[in-house]
Structure 1
Amino acid sequence: MAENVVNSAAEKNIDPQHASNRISIKEKVSYGFGDFGNGFMFDLGQAYLTNFYTDIAGISAAAAAGIFSITKIFDAFMDPLAGSIIDARKPGKRGKFRPVMMISSILLAIMTVITFTMPSGLSPTEKIIYAYATYMAWGILYSFTNVPYGSLASVMTRNVEDRSFMASTRQAGSIGAQLVTGVAFVPIMLMFPSTKIGYAITAAIMAFIGICGFFICYINTKEHIKAENSRSKERETLKDYLRVVFTNRPLWSLILMTLFTISAMNTNNQMMIYFCKYNLGNIGLQPIINFVMMGCSVAGITLIPFLVRRFGKKRTAIGGLLIGVVADGLNFIIPTNIYTFIILVTIGYVALAIPNGITWAFVSDTIDYGHWHTGVRKEGITYAAFNFSRKIAQSIAALVSAGILAATGYVANAHQTSTTLLGIKGAMTIYPAIALLLAAVIITFLYNLPDDKFKRIASDLENGRWENGTFIQG
């Protein structure tokens, strides 16, 4: 039935590219500031919390692996709950998603600082319990911040070029936050006589900047597409939610791909401080390498709109993944050398940043595909299902990072064995190479929503209507 709808739109010579009005450049750029703000809280945990637990709080690497993996799985199940609650919310004066995003981001900032504290006098067991409790609380607030933010893009525009541009601004915001936190965090932290105090104060500075990023997004964006369920006259049931998620093949393809791309990226970020401190012998190299790696990534993702216009979203994503496979694989094979390492890790990170950026446009497309395919529009629950995979990927990254440290005999603030050094290098290079290869295979053979098909779907949604589960062409 759905395929016939696509064909009917094409037969009427509807131009799906103009199925919805274009939004302003200010609004598209401001949307990216949401991920900029998000990065100042999320990326701190991904890049520095493991090191804070092991080297400052005195938690073992094995226990840290458990904290990250278990809490991320807990967080993953929080996303569908957050999505359901947000979907049930009626749009207000400021929209459906933006107010929830803004309020939650302020609470998330406070919780970010708390996660980088460890009360004195706690026993080893009490430290672990405190870490679990604070990081789980952080994860709940993150779900109620990130789910409405991610859902916002789908109600701003359906225009393919606008969504590609927004995907690039969002990825620019994300990488920009990684650049600033990656370059500035350690130097600011080291300004204080106690690294324990330095961690907390630096986290507070970063969290405040994060709130500012979300505020810019909140104040300058609008929800142009009606966010209410297209079958609002009917009572929604659990079956409706399940249909939205489990019959959406493009969504499931993204979920599988994301398990590997995000775990590769997070493993790289988490292990960088260890690689610089122990493999390269100078923790001061960490901000320098991050500056080069992430600075080039910011420049690289500006090419996303051009590459998407030239090759389409799917082929551009596959190309980036394969380049990353080669760069990371070579970085593992070549003996550790600061110059070749920086060059190859930068190429690999830029190559990964491009498909990660395009993923945000993919997600908005899958929300519209689910609406077209089932007659039910659920931005929150669809984005939450996708975000579920990101949380599981983060759990995988924690297991790879802290797990390898524990398995290879890592000892905090000590001279490491050759086995430990090889494990750190492997986590930085060979794991991402394998993960990106699997992601490329998944997107190549499973993702079935190319740009031309989506344009026709967008036209159908603009010009038709759903009645009793059947699409009626307008």
Structure 2
Amino acid sequence: MDSTETNAATTADTAPRVVTLRNKIGYAIGDMGNNFLFDMGQLYLLNYFTDVVGLPSAAAGTVFLVAKIWDAFADMSVGTWIDNRTNISKRGKFRPFLLWAAIPLALLLIANFSTPNFSVTGKLIWAYIAYMIFGTCYSISNVPFGSMIPTMTRNSQERSELASWRQAGSNLGLMLATIGFMPIVETVSNEQTGYTVAVVIFAVCGVLAQWFSYANIKENYSAPAPQKVNKKDLRKSFGALLKNKPLVTLSIVNLFTFSAFNLKLTVQVYYCKYILKDMTAESWLGFFSIGMVFVSVLLTPILTKRFDKKYVYMLGCVIWAVADILGFFFANNTFLLVFFTSVAYLGDGFTSALNWALVSDCVEYGEWQTGIRSEGMVYSFFTYFRKLSQAIAGFLPGIVLAWVGYVPGKTQTATALLGIRGLMFIYSAVLSLATIVLMYWAYSLTEKKYSGIVKDLLERRGSERIEPTTDESN
């Protein structure tokens, strides 16, 4: 290795390390809180709409499509606003949003699971309004949270570690939501009231987790507040995003993988209820399959020390695809469903853990390529595609269920059962394979290239200002 490569590697991989264990735990708990507040919609809202509120499955799925497309544009607007804020306090550029958005987000979540006894049309209107406002508020909370990694550290390996801690918190939130939600619902005699009680419990826990995160994470790197920009500057910034090929590639593969992941979460309730006829399987899935993601979260930093993040990402998709193909044919009882889904989620865990590290790398790539640094816009561009994937994950099951003749609460036909099985396994297997192909051919930001980019950026800047690493609690 020549001296240039050595200096670049030193810049990106070994210095400086500024994130403490307390910061990592705080960041993980923050995403656990995000999931308490968000996953209720992905896991249970479609089933609540169809089986409790009584909405037609296609109409309920359309609520997700419209609301998530709205959310996607909300993310871009929020990212633009955050990047161009000029009144930035000592609390940081991103941290304050965790503090102020938590309670409104919790109240809006509760509203989604408290549908009044209106007509079907009235219930649909309530669903649209409540879910769209909830999504906008979630953008205001989540876009700053995800944009924060580049301000916490410049170290590539440390970013992978933070991404893994975040994914661990996310999966803990998802696991607890999967294990605990339906048992709470079933303790209440009235099912609709049971849903509301369960959501209230998780909403309160979500607020407390986000406040804990606010108190224990820190933005170590800062830059001068930007001057007010005009429409020409904004168009230039958006144009820079489209020129960022690694970001565009990563966003597209997230459209694949995240829609597959969220669709599985939505459909597994139907799979357990109508194919296995065993609702306890839902809790076993939460414990073992989501628990397997913790294994991949632990393995990810170890693997990325030896292999390029790109290839670890692709490895996860290989594991995921193989497990789901086998699951389609053989998951005919609770044990096999949990087994194959656990292996699939092990593979998904590699992609999920690395997403946040890779998108942070894309921030530096975009600055290096165009001279424009925009953490919020990069992250919101990335989450735009994740919201589109959530739109697909909510809309597609509703349409397919209507197409195959699904009838809530009744014995399903063979065609309906095959539709549920295909949604659970084939959709995600196909998109995992597509992700492997696209990452291999289109994602060019390897570790070696990234190290050179960071070195070049530091030379351009001359120096950076880093805040003292003192603890703050307000």
Q: TM-score with structure 1 length normalisation? A: 0.93
Aligned with residue 213 of structure 1, among 205, 209, 212: 209
Distance 1:289 1:335 in 2: 13
Q: Which residue of 1 aligns with 2:47?
A: 51
Contact 2:319 2:346 in 1 (8 A): no
Distance 2:29 2:334 in 1: 33
Q: Which residue of 1 aligns with 2:311?
A: 315
Q: Which residue of 2 aligns with 1:94?
A: 91
Q: Which residue of 1 aligns with 2:10?
A: 15
Q: Which residue of 1 aligns with 2:404?
A: 408
Correspondence 1:374 to 2:374: no
Contact 1:28 1:162 in 2 (8 A): no
Instruction: Tell me: CA distance 1:233–1:79, structure 2 relative to 1, closer, same or farther (3 Å).
Output: closer
Aligned residues: 459
Deviation at 1:373, TM superposition (A): 1.4
Instruction: Tell me: CA distance 1:228–1:440, structure 2 relative to 1, closer, same or farther (3 Å).
Output: farther
Q: Which moved more, 1:183-192 or 1:335-344?
A: 335-344
Q: Which residue of 1 aligns with 2:104?
A: 107
Deviation at 1:363, TM superposition (A): 0.8
Amino acid at match of 1:101: L
Deviation at 1:13, TM superposition (A): 6.4
Distance 1:9 1:95 in 2: 34
Amino acid at match of 1:15: T
Distance 2:415 2:229 in 1: 61
The 5 A counterparts of 1:148-167 are 148-167=144-163
The 5 A counterparts of 1:214-233 are 214-228=210-224
Q: Which residue of 1 aligns with 2:264?
A: 268
Contact 1:23 1:157 in 2 (8 A): yes
Instruction: Tell me: CA distance 1:234–1:115, structure 2 relative to 1, closer, same or farther (3 Å).
Output: closer
Q: Which residue of 2 aligns with 1:4?
A: none
Distance 1:49 1:369 in 2: 38
Amino acid at match of 2:74: M
The 5 A counterparts of 1:1-12 are 10=5
Correspondence 1:195 to 2:219: no
Aligned-residue Cα RMSD (Å) equals 2.0
Q: Which residue of 1 aligns with 2:21?
A: 25
Aligned with residue 395 of structure 1, among 387, 391, 405: 391
Instruction: Tell me: CA distance 1:9–1:28, structure 2 relative to 1, closer, same or farther (3 Å).
Output: farther
For residues 49-79 of structure 1, what are the alpha-carbon distances to aligned partners after superposition, in whole Å with 9 as ceiling and x for unaligned?
Answer: 0011001111110101110011111110111
Distance 1:338 1:14 in 2: 48
Q: Which moved more, 1:397-406 or 1:48-57?
A: 397-406
Amino acid at match of 1:337: N
Deviation at 1:333, TM superposition (A): 2.3
Q: Which residue of 1 aligns with 2:443?
A: 447
Amino acid at match of 1:218: Y
Contact 2:72 2:388 in 1 (8 A): yes
Instruction: Tell me: CA distance 1:28–1:463, structure 2 relative to 1, closer, same or farther (3 Å).
Output: farther
Distance 2:227 2:175 in 1: 43
Q: Which moved more, 1:177-186 or 1:364-373?
A: 364-373
The 5 A counterparts of 1:250-261 are 250-261=246-257
Aligned with residue 458 of structure 2, among 455, 462, 467: 462
Amino acid at match of 1:256: I
Contact 1:29 1:166 in 2 (8 A): no
Deviation at 1:399, TM superposition (A): 2.4
Distance 1:14 1:187 in 2: 50
Contact 2:98 2:211 in 1 (8 A): no
For residues 191-222 of structure 1, what are the alpha-carbon distances to aligned partners after superposition, in whole Å with 9 as ceiling and x for unaligned?
Answer: 11111111111101101111122112211111
Contact 1:20 1:462 in 2 (8 A): no
For residues 151-188 of structure 1, what are the alpha-carbon distances to aligned partners after superposition, in whole Å with 9 as ceiling and x for unaligned?
Answer: 11111001011101111111111111110000000001
Q: Which residue of 1 aligns with 2:275?
A: 279
Distance 1:401 1:142 in 2: 23
Aligned with residue 423 of structure 1, among 419, 422, 440: 419
Aligned with residue 136 of structure 1, among 114, 117, 132: 132
Correspondence 1:118 to 2:115: yes
Instruction: Tell me: CA distance 1:53–1:24, structure 2 relative to 1, closer, same or farther (3 Å).
Output: same
Contact 1:244 1:382 in 2 (8 A): no
For residues 312-357 of structure 1, what are the alpha-carbon distances to aligned partners after superposition, in whole Å with 9 as ceiling and x for unaligned?
Answer: 2111000010111111011112362332222111100111111111
Distance 1:228 1:397 in 2: 40
Q: Which residue of 2 aligns with 1:437?
A: 433
Distance 1:437 1:13 in 2: 33
Runs of 4+ in 1 over 6 A off after TM superposition: 11-14, 233-236
SS in structure 1 at match of 2:24:
helix
Distance 1:165 1:444 in 2: 23
SS in structure 1 at match of 2:454:
helix
Q: Which moved more, 1:335-344 or 1:78-87?
A: 335-344
Deviation at 1:454, TM superposition (A): 1.2
- Percentage of matched positions with identical amino acids: 37
Q: Which residue of 2 aligns with 1:34?
A: 30
Q: Which residue of 1 aligns with 2:169?
A: 173
Distance 1:326 1:87 in 2: 41
Aligned with residue 185 of structure 1, among 181, 195, 209: 181
SS in structure 2 at match of 1:261:
helix
Q: Which moved more, 1:188-197 or 1:326-335?
A: 326-335
Aligned with residue 380 of structure 2, among 384, 404, 409: 384
For structure 1, list consecutive stretches of 5 or more residues without a partner in the other structure: 1-6, 467-474
